[in-house]
Each structure stands twice: as structure tokens, then as C-alpha cells.
A and B are shown apart, each in its own frame.
Chain A
Amino acid sequence: MRYIILFVFLIIGNQSLVYSQNTLSGKITDEKNQPLAGSHIHVAAFFANSDESGNYAITGIPNARLQVFIEYLGYKTLDTILDFQGNSTLNVPLKPDVSQLQEVVLKETFVKNKAQEIKTATIEKYSSESLGDALKEISGVSSLKTGNTIVKPIINGLHSSRVLIINNNVRLEDQQWGAEHAPNMDVNTAGKISVIKGVNGLQFGGDAIGGTVVIDPPVIPIKDTIFGKTILNGQSNGRGGSITSSLFKGYQSGWNWNLQGTFKYLGDFEAPGYVLSNTGNREKNFSGRLGYKGENQGFSFFYSYFNADIGILRASHISSTSDLIRAINSGEPQYISDFTHDINAPKQQLQHHLGKINYYKLFSNNRKLSLQYSFQFNNRLEFDLRRGDDKDRPSLDLDLKTHTLNADFEGNHADNFKYKVGINGGFQNNFADTENTNVRALIPNYDKFDAGAYAIGNYTVNDRLSIETGLRYDFSHIDAKKYFLKSRWTERGYDNEFSHFIIGEDGQQWYTNPVFSYHNFSGSAGSIYEINEKLNLTSNVSVTSRNPNPSELFSDGLHHSTGQIELGDLRLKREVSTKFSTALNYSTSRFSLEINPYANFVNDFKVLIPMTIILSNRGPFPVWEYRQVDARLLGVDITADYDFAKNWNWHSTAAFVYGEDLTTNSALIDMPPFNFNNTVRFKKANWNNLVVSLKNETVLTQKRYPNNDFFVDLLDTGEPVSTLVAISKPPKGYSLLHFNSEMSFDVFEKSKMTIGFTIQNILNTNYRDYLNRTRYYSDDLGRNFRVQLKLNY
């Protein structure tokens, strides 16, 4: 395997001495002479991708001896040197890279649509932002925000526990149930990010009702190579920036390692009219891996550490309904102070460790066995504004530890049937440190055991049609210990139903031991059909089940960002989704269009609904309870891309979702409004790879929302005044303009520097977003200038 013979047909033709600008063209195929569309061909600073027929052409190459790279995921990279003295033709059959099989088996089939992927070059633009920001590049993905730094992906209208995040083949367990809990990972560790909107992710779990985000690290080729990059960002809004650096080393012997680190430092952000006080953030992240890819077996160790301090808008911390009314009615933050880099309460301090070991063994006929153990430790501290001795204590201190074991086996039977089967087991422990917080734990201590098994088969019927089907079973057992206020226990009606959970009492509280077990089946079936060379159709139907998460079962307390009391319910059952989706993909060399309609029917969909208003010494509070309704989400995602003239490209995405609560025949809350993005880009390779683009981001007003407004008596004026608390109406739609540009230069031997300049919100538009939880309290971000320096070496 080490001594691969590359069949390189090199034809030097038509030598011209008049022009020093040469063209390299040719065709990239696999070893069976089938075209490889999308191969990456790279000559010095010039590059191109092969089209559907495997053909490519790179123009403007100067007369010189230059290194040529040809890369395609899952194939050995070709690395050669050519002497350019005229137009050349280079036809290359690439050899499969067996050690990359894992990348190929599942993803080759359904996840191939390019519209659902974000590549390294795009990820780098979001180097100083977050995973949730980068994911918005994909149509149908929106973000649920708290301020500007806590960003959660929403896929086809659903988020949090309904979206799985798979980081480097490990399911991220970072208390993802909370709306203010953003994924605890550094976007700079990603080499490629894919979104699976159906459930081709059965391998990863059977509960991805919204979708799955798969993050893969950069691939290190099997050859003697060392490469790396450093990205430096500086921005005006937040008056800070970030630096990230990574180094990759590969050896022909199969060994490889990689080190990566990120440091981020930002102060208060600013809206067009004022400082968003206490919205700074910090990140200190590190990751590293060591691996070996041999002929028949291989292994890798991976470790990553994520550490973030995130300020929460000071004005969004409220203690009563009258505070909320003042905030909504004034239209301005109730607390604005001078810009600072300091972060005070309210804030979050997060740490996430992920360590994993994996081993694989290859057998004849491309069969492969993979084993993996992973460990995650997540610590979440949340600080509120407190009084007295507790002033510096966090209000929430949760330690979540997760161990998982996976065994997967994949192979094929004949040429046209591939399969993958696997089992997994896991143990999770949550520890709420109430001695540190001196606050009753909203999420209690618990132990959770999981076990699952799946099988996926892929059958290629003919050149044009392949079908895939999968089944999965999951067992889950949760054993929790929680103190309930006796008055709450009785009010919830638990006295009769759950008295067997009570194991003790302490003053006004019951000490309880709720235990639940769940058995779930999930499955999917789909097909990909090539109607003709330009048009293909993907169809998918999937059934997934999601168990109630700890927040839905056990919550009972006040949310300081919304001023509402949220109550879980021990009686909640799993929710079951049946999702139909299709994708029609049309593409030519200059134009591509993907239309992706879907219908998702969720039985027993868990949703927070306002039920009543309770009185307290702090005035009245609305009480929201988790209830189960039948829900239906209909939507369509569209992506279009058009090279409308030489050097010019137009890219467009749009997403629409219509969410309906079928139980009460009303709109579902928090559904992303219709949104569309249009980008016009000018790109010229000869001018130092100049790229200039202008992007319009438009979000329309969400007109469909449940009316949850309520009235309370305000006492501020002496006479009690019945006052409307207008929490329901979404803010007006908005349209923003963004500018982006970059140029690259060869600096040292084998090094390239790229300078980027970006303006976000060019017109400094005032706006608020329906899916930002601080929308009641302040406007969103104002104009931001950002300079990015990237050094590839």
C-alpha cells in the first residue's frame, strides 16, 4: 500500500512561447475510470474543482516549476511537480485511500448535497464567532440566541435537545437542553461541518427530531507533511478579537498528530445607539490528537478543552413582572454604562473536556471494525445578581460527566450492498453542587444509563438509484434525586401518582427519587435517484423518538431572563416524530439549485405553555408549564448558486417553516420567520485571489405566533393600574447588508497570507430578532468592522 503507483498521463502540448500565462486542464477519475466531481486541484496559489464529468481547468499559471496537488476525500492525494512552459493536460486516476473508508460509507450516499456542508474556507470566516453563527450559512438553519455570543442552531424550526451535535464522532453532552446553553465547542477545531436534516444520522442516535450537526476535524493525509495556520481577528464592535493556531503533521508511515489552540477576548458589544453592557466574552480552547493509520488497523487519541466566560446583558436580568413591563415599554435597556472589557454577573462560566480513544481494524473486502471510548466532563456555572453572603456565588453549578462506548462494523455484500451495524452503551452522571450555589437545584442529581443498537443498509439498485434503510433501538434509564417544595409537589398533583418516589423530607421540602425507563425504536428509509445528469432527487422518511430531558421533567423555578416560572412535569412521555423530506437537486457547471421541502409530524411534542399567574412578595409571576401537544412543521429550504458572468457569482438561500400546534389549532411559538440571503461575489485569481462580496440578509416579520400576553396590576403610581405585558408579538422584520473582501499573498516559501476585511451591518441598522431572548431588553448588534489575517504554512 505504501508503494502506490500513480498512473499519471502527462501530455505536454501546444507549447507557446508568446504567452507566459498557462492553462492546466484535464480529467480526474477514480481507479475504475469514473469521473470524480469536486476534486480539488491546486497549483501554487491557483486552484479549481473538477466538474460533474471530472474535468477541470486552471488558467493564469506563470512559467515556472510548480507543485501540483490533487485531492479528493477518501482518495490518496496526488502531489507532484510540473514544469509549466505552456498549456498542459494532466489526467489523473486517483487511488482510494482505504484508511478513509469511514468517511465514505455513510456520507457518500445521502449527505452528499453540497448545500448542507460548510467547508474550511467558510468556517475560517467565523473564527472569532461560534458554531451557531457558522451554521447559518446553510439554508434552513437559524439561530436561537441569548445576546450575541450564546448562539444555538435551529434546524427546520427545532433546537436544543432536538438537535444532535456530533463533534469528532462523539455526541456532545453539554447540557444542551437549555435555551441559553450554546454548544460547548470551538468552531476552529472543525475541518468540515455537515447538517443532516433527515435521520441519516441513525448511527449517532434515534432522537434527532430536528436534525444532526456533524463536525469533522481536518483530515491529515498519509504522507510526510507538516502544515498549519494561524488566524488573527480584530474587530471594532466588542473592541477585541481572537487568535487561533493549528499545526498538523503527517508521516508516510501512517502516524499523525495535530495541536490547536484558540484565545478570544471581547468586551461589551454595541447596538447602534448604546453599549450593550456586560456582553463581553472570553474563550480559551485547546485540542490535540495523535493517530496512526496503518494498512490494516489504526487508532487515535483526541482531547479537547473548551473554556468560556460569557457576559449576559445586564439589562436582561429581571426579578419581577413589573421589571419586564418597564423593559418592554421603554424600548431601551434599563441599564447602560460605559464600555468595558470586564464581565460581571449575570454571566456564564463554562468548561468542557472531551477525551476519546478510537481503534479500527480493516478486513478483506473493505470490511471495517471500529471501537471507541469517549469521556466528557462539562461544568456550567451561572452567576446572577445576588445579595449578601451569596453575592459571589454562582446560582447554578452543574457537573455533567458522560462516558460512552461504541462498536461499529461496516462492510459490503456484493458490489451493490453496503451495511453498517453498531452498538453503544453510555453512563451519565449529573451533579448539582447546591452547597456551592445555596440555591435549590433546577436540574437535579441523576445517573443515566443508555444502550443502543442500529443497523443501516444501502443498496445500489442501478447506476441511477440507490436506497438506504436503517433501524435503531435505544434503552434509557434515569435515576434522579431531587428536593421538591411540598407546596409545589401538592400543586403538581404528585401526591397520589408519585408518592412512592418520596424517600425523605427536610423542613418544607420532600426528598424524592424519581426513576424512569424508556424503550424507543427509530427508523428511516430513503432513496437517491438520478433523473438525468443534471437532476437528482433524494427522498427520505424517518421516525424518531425523544425522551423528556431533565429540564422538561424537573424544572421548577424562575428564569431571570424571561421573568417566568417554568415547571417541568414528571408525567411527560416521549415525543415521536415522523418526518418526510425530499431534495430536488439540479446542477450544471455554472448553475445549481436545491429545493428541500419537508413535513414533520410530532406527536406529544413538548412545549412550554403559559398556564396561570401566581402572586408572591415580588408581585405576580406568569407560570409556564411543559405540556405535550401534537405538532406539525411544514417547510422548505432553498439554495441557489449561479456563476452569471466571468468572475461573478450569485448565491442565495431561503427558508420557510410553518409550525402548527394541532391540539389547540394555533401557531407554534419561536418558529423562525421567513428569511433569505443573497450574496453577489466577484472573484479574480490573477489579482492575488481577490474576493469581494456583498451580502443581504433579510428576515421578515413572524406574523404567526401564539398570543401569551397577560395583564397584571402595577403599583408604581399609587393607584393599582392593570397593565398589559406584551410578550408575544415578534419584533419587526429587518434587512441587513454585509461586506466581505480578501486577498492572498505568498509571503515566505510555502506560506500564504490572506488578509480579509469585513463590515457587518454596514448601514448600522437598528433591529431586534424574534429568536433572540434578549429582544425585550435591547436592540441587536450595530455595525462591526473586522480585519482578519490568516497565515497558511
Chain B
Amino acid sequence: MKKIKFLSLSLVTALFFTSCSSDDSPAGAVNEDEVITTLTATLTGGGQVIILKSQDLDGAEGPLAPVVTVSGNLMANTTYTGNLDLLNEAASPAESITEEILEEAGDHQFFFTVSNSLGAFGYSLPNDENGNPVGVNFTFTTGATAGTGTLAIILRHQPNKSAAGVATGNIANAGGETDIQVSFPITVQ
């Protein structure tokens, strides 16, 4: 107890002195490292390269809505190899978040869904340290029927990767927090 008392008293004395100096000089604007301003999904297949992009330059807390672009239509009965690139463009130079995700692969997993049964997804390597999928690389195979719909990409932080169905891409039991949740209007022809 005496030690605590002595330490506390010395601490408060120190604080008294430091509090007299002005230490609130501006630290410069903060550009948060963890903000994901831009997600780009590149689908390559059937002689095409289709780019899906969602860009939200003022981050999740800014008032501006993301700008969502899709570079072209997909073809039916085609297997596309997909890869994701995540950037923080609020930082200068822009920072790659994909690298961070791969470094902490065990704590992250992407999930893909598409409406109107327009196709099916599969995970590609690399997997995480436990052999579970991450989803930075994936495949998207379109079905025989043409149509329009929504392709959604969701990133969960600290999901339960061993829950039923999660390893095959079913998000229902994944839990965790949502870091990315974007959707793209697509057309299969």
C-alpha cells in the first residue's frame, strides 16, 4: 500500500508539472489506416476482363455514398477467375488492405452471393494457416440462363470458420463483424 501511495503521489506531482506545459499542438489530420475506401473485384474469363468497383472516398463514417461501377456484362456458361483488391485511398500514397488481410488470414473471410441463380462461387488459394478459405481469390461460374441480378461481396472479421457450412462459403453461421458489404448490379447474357 505504501508503495502504491508513493507511486501515486509521484505520479500526480509529475502530472502537475506536465499539465503546465502546452501539449496540444495540432498533430495533423488523421487518415485512418483501417478504412477501406475501395474494393475492386476483377473477373477474368471467356476472353473478357470485367471490373466491379465500389469506391467510398470519405470512408464508412463520411456522408458520401460509395460510387459503384461495373465495366461490362458477363457471359452465360463461363467460369471467371476472380481476385479482390482492397485499398485505403484516403491515405497517400494509397495503402493496400489486401496485404493486411492476408497477413491475418485466419481472422478474415470473404463471402459471395448472387441473386436469381445467375451463378455459383468457389474459393481459390491461398487458404489461411489452418487450411480454411480466405476468398481473396475465387471463381465465379455463370449458369446457362441469362438475366440481371445482384452480386454481393461481404468480408467478415473474426468469423467462426469452423461453423457448419462456413468453409464452403455459407455465411449463415459465420458470425464476426462485417468489414465490407457491397453489392453490384450485374447482367449475364
List residues of chain A with CB under 8 Å of any chain B CB.
245, 259, 261, 284, 286, 288, 303, 305, 317-320, 322-323, 326, 334-335, 353, 355, 375, 377, 385-390, 401, 429, 431, 433-435, 437-441, 445, 447, 481, 483, 485, 487-488, 491, 506-509, 511, 556-558, 565, 614-619, 621, 713, 715-720
B164 to chain A, nearest CB (A): 15
Q: Is the CB of B31 within 8 A of A558?
A: no
Residues of B within 8 A of A334 (CB): 175-176
Determine the chain B residues whose CB is within 8 A of the CB of A319 once the complex forms: 157, 177-179
Chain B residues contacting A326 (CB-CB under 8 Å) are 175
Q: How far is the CA of A507 from the CA of B111 in the complex (A)?
A: 33
Determine whether the beta carbon of B92 is less than 8 Å from that of A507. yes
Q: Tell me if B177 and A385 are in contact (CB < 8 A).
A: yes
Which candidate, B44-52, B63-71, B77-85, B132-140, is the interface stretch facing chain A?
B63-71
B113 at interface, CB cutoff 8 A: yes
Partner of B37, one of A245, A445, A617: A617
Q: Is the CB of B90 within 8 A of A507?
A: yes
Q: List the B side residues contacting A447 at CB < 8 Å.
A: 24
Cβ 8 A contact of A718, one of B26, B39, B59, B113: B113
Closest CB in chain A relative to B176 CB, distance in Å? 8
Minimum C-beta distance from A59 to chain B (A):
41
Having A556-B61, A715-B113, one finds 7 other A-B pairs with CB under 8 Å, namely A286-B8, A353-B15, A387-B104, A440-B29, A481-B26, A617-B181, A715-B183
Give A23 Cβ to nearest chain B Cβ, in Å: 43
Give 10 closest A-B pairs by Cβ, nearest first.
A506-B29, A619-B181, A320-B178, A715-B152, A319-B177, A491-B63, A718-B113, A616-B60, A388-B100, A615-B65
- Measured CB to CB, the nearest residue on chain B to A558 is B61
Chain A residues with Cβ under 8 A from B111's Cβ?
Answer: 716
Interface residue from B15, B24, B60, B183 paired with A618 (Cβ < 8 Å): B60
Q: Which residues of B contact A (CB under 8 A)?
A: 1, 4-5, 8-9, 11-12, 15-16, 19, 23-24, 26-34, 36-39, 54, 56-66, 90, 92, 97, 100-101, 103-104, 107, 111, 113-116, 150, 152, 154, 157-158, 171-172, 175-183
A305 to B157, CA, bound (A): 37
With contact pairs A616-B60, A720-B150 given, residues A387 and B12 touching in the complex (Cβ less than 8 Å): no
Which residues of chain B have C-beta atoms less than 8 A from A433's C-beta?
27
Asked if A438 meets B175 with Cβ closer than 8 Å, knowing A303-B8, A617-B54, the reply is no
Residues of B within 8 A of A355 (CB): 12, 16
**Contact A487–B62 (Cβ < 8 Å):** yes
In the bound complex, do residue B30 and residue A386 qualify as a contact, i.e. CB atoms below 8 Å apart? no
List, in ascending order, chain B residues with CB within 8 A of A507's CB: 29, 31, 90, 92
Other-chain residue from A318, A335, A434, A615 in contact with B66 (beta carbon distance below 8 A): A615
Chain B residues with CB under 8 Å of A390's CB are 33-34
Pair B178/A619 contact, Cβ less than 8 Å: yes
CA distance A616 to B37 in the complex (A): 9
Residue in B closest to A315 when the chains form the complex, CB atoms: B175
Task: Give the residues in chain A near B9, CB-CB below 8 Å.
Answer: 303
A445–B32 contact, CB under 8 A? no
Q: How far is the CA of A616 from the CA of B64 in the complex (A)?
A: 8
Alpha-carbon distance between A481 and B29 when the two chains are bound, in angstroms: 11
Quick check: A488 and B34 within 8 Å, CB to CB?
Answer: no
User: Which of the listed residues B29, B65, B152 has the most CB atoms from chain A within 10 Å of its own CB?
Assistant: B29
A483:B29 contact, CB within 8 angstroms:
yes
A615's closest neighbor in chain B, by CB? B65
Q: Of all chain B residues, which has the CB nearest A556?
A: B61
Across the interface, A385 reaches (CB within 8 A) one of B15, B113, B115, B157, namely: B157
Chain A residues with Cβ under 8 A from B57's Cβ?
A: 508
Cα distance A457–B111 in the bound complex, in angstroms: 70
Using Cβ atoms and an 8 Å threshold, which residues of chain A touch B1? 245, 259, 261, 286
Task: Write the nearest CB–CB distance from A263 to chain B, whole angstroms.
Answer: 9
Chain A residues, Cβ within 8 Å of B4: 261, 284, 286
Which residue in chain A gives the minimum CB-CB distance to B15? Answer: A377
B30 touches A286 (CB 8 A): no
User: Which chain B residue lies CB-closest to A612?
Assistant: B63
Which chain B residues lie closer than 8 Å to A615 at the CB level? 65-66
Q: How far is the CA of A217 from the CA of B33 in the complex (A)?
A: 47
Residues of B within 8 A of A445 (CB): 24, 26
Q: Which of A261, A322, A558, A717 contacts B178 (CB 8 A)?
A: A322
> How far is the CB of B113 from the nearest CB of chain A, in Å?
4
* 18 A–B contacts from the bound complex (CB under 8 Å): A261-B4, A303-B9, A319-B157, A319-B178, A323-B178, A377-B15, A386-B34, A438-B30, A440-B30, A485-B61, A508-B58, A565-B61, A617-B54, A617-B180, A617-B181, A618-B181, A715-B113, A716-B172
A303 with B154: CB separation less than 8 A: no
Contacts of B158 in A (CB 8 A): 385
Query: Are B177 and A487 closer than 8 Å at their CB atoms?
Result: no
Which residues from chain B contact A565 at a C-beta distance below 8 Å?
Answer: 61
B115 in contact with A438 (CB, 8 Å): no
Chain A residues with CB below 8 A from B176, complex form? 334
Partner among A261, A323, A387, A718 whose Cβ is within 8 Å of the Cβ of B114: A718
Q: For A717, give the chain B residue with the smallest CB separation.
A: B113
